[in-house]
Amino acid sequence: MFSRISSSWELVKASYRVLRADKELIVFPIVSALGTLAVMITFAVPMLLAGLFDSATNDGLGVAHYAVAFLFYLTMYFVVIFSNTALVGAAMIRLRGGDPTLADGFKIAMDHVPQIFGYAMISATVGVVLRVLQERGGIVGQIVAWIGNLAWNVVTYLVIPVLVVENVGPVEAIKRSGSLLKRTWGEQIIGNFSIGLVFGLLSLAVIVVFGLPAILFAAATGSVVLIVLAVALIVMIVIGLNLISSTLQGIYVAALYRYAVEGVVDENYFPPELVEGAFRKKK
């Protein structure tokens, strides 16, 4: 466990070196976060009307329930994939020795809108299918949905850089992503490193070490304003950590793709062993 945390921290530092060279990369996750928030607000009313937040009525909703869910997933995935495409595209420019701008990233995403929409359609379909299994399949369905979600995340791990660089359709990109992972790192795809692990621990530390004492102190004063400010501050810090985590994840995916396809690791940013050992090979 400790060795994994240590390796994950090295990965965070390596990815952060790229972010430090191009600080504007964090704008793409910010756009994604604002976009997903707008989507959630836009869909709040129809989702409430369709009962998506009321599991007790799901059995009687049928088509209307899952139609709204599909539209929600489609819009959400499009926003997220669009932003991630811009991020990965800009990161690829940096890893190849260029100096990307925000305009470069957004142009790459705009140039791939048809592929992004197609991939969002497929992802939304998968999301609804997994939701049906989870809601209607009992314990077995929930297990199958969990395994299916895990498998989907693994197979599609390199889809976005494939879309960016190879300019193929979404179906071919999914096949290509799975093929690259299997060919480069073996059939047993189990991540050794986790940027999410590091930032999850950091967020937990912020809440436990700073958040709870600050809130308790504010509560002791009896000031509602101080309580609200304390909670708002902790929420903002956690959101900031999540934005940095998302940015570093996109950078790392770009580095993995470059190694898988070109066999190249930019040692100015990433120690080769961090990329070469990203997944355990099947023994």
Question: 67 φ, ψ to 5°?
Answer: -65, -45
The dihedral of CA 164, 165, 169, 170: what is its sign?
negative
3-state secondary structure 146-157: HHHHHHHHHHCC
In a domain, 23, yes or no: yes
The residues near 80 (Cβ < 8 Å, ≥ 6 apart) are 32, 35, 36
Alpha carbons within 13 A on the beta-carbon side of 98: 10
Residue pair 169/118 in contact by the 8 Å Cβ criterion: yes
Check: CB of residue 12 under 8 Å from CB of residue 271: no
Tokens of 46: 């129809």
pLDDT of residue 62: 63
CA dist., res. 275 & res. 191, Å (int): 11
- The reply to whether 260 falls in a domain is yes
Per residue of the chain (283 residues), give pLDDT as tens. Answer: 555 566 677 778 888 888 988 889 999 999 999 999 999 888 887 666 655 555 444 454 566 677 878 888 999 999 999 999 999 999 999 988 888 999 999 999 999 999 999 999 999 999 889 888 887 778 888 888 888 988 898 889 899 999 999 989 999 999 999 888 887 765 444 444 577 778 888 889 989 888 888 888 888 888 888 888 888 889 899 889 889 988 998 998 888 888 888 887 777 788 777 777 666 554 4
Q: From CA 64, how far away is CA 70, in angstroms rounded?
A: 10
Structural domain includes residue 283: no
pTM over 0.95: no
Closest alpha carbon to 237 in 199, 263, 275, 266 = 199
The answer to whether residue 281 sits within a structural domain is: no
In a domain, 172, yes or no: yes
Cα(149)–Cα(184) distance, integer angstroms? 22
Looking at residue 227, what is its pLDDT?
87
**CB half-sphere exposure, 120, CA atoms < 13 A:** 22
Whether 137 is in a domain gets the answer yes
For residue 282, is it within any domain? no
Domain total of the chain:
1
Domain contains 212: yes
Identify residue 219 by its one-letter amino acid code: A
Q: What is the pLDDT of residue 191?
A: 46
Please report where in the chains the tokens 């070196």 appear, as a residue.
17
| 94, 21 Cβ separation under 8 angstroms | yes
Q: What is the domain extent for residue 64?
A: 2-276
pLDDT at 2: 54
Contacts of residue 166, defined as CB under 8 A and 6 or more positions apart, other chains included, come to 173, 176
* Cα dihedral sign, 155-157-158-160: positive
The pLDDT of residue 56 is 42
Helix (H, G, I), strand (E, B) or coil at 191: strand
pLDDT at 5: 60
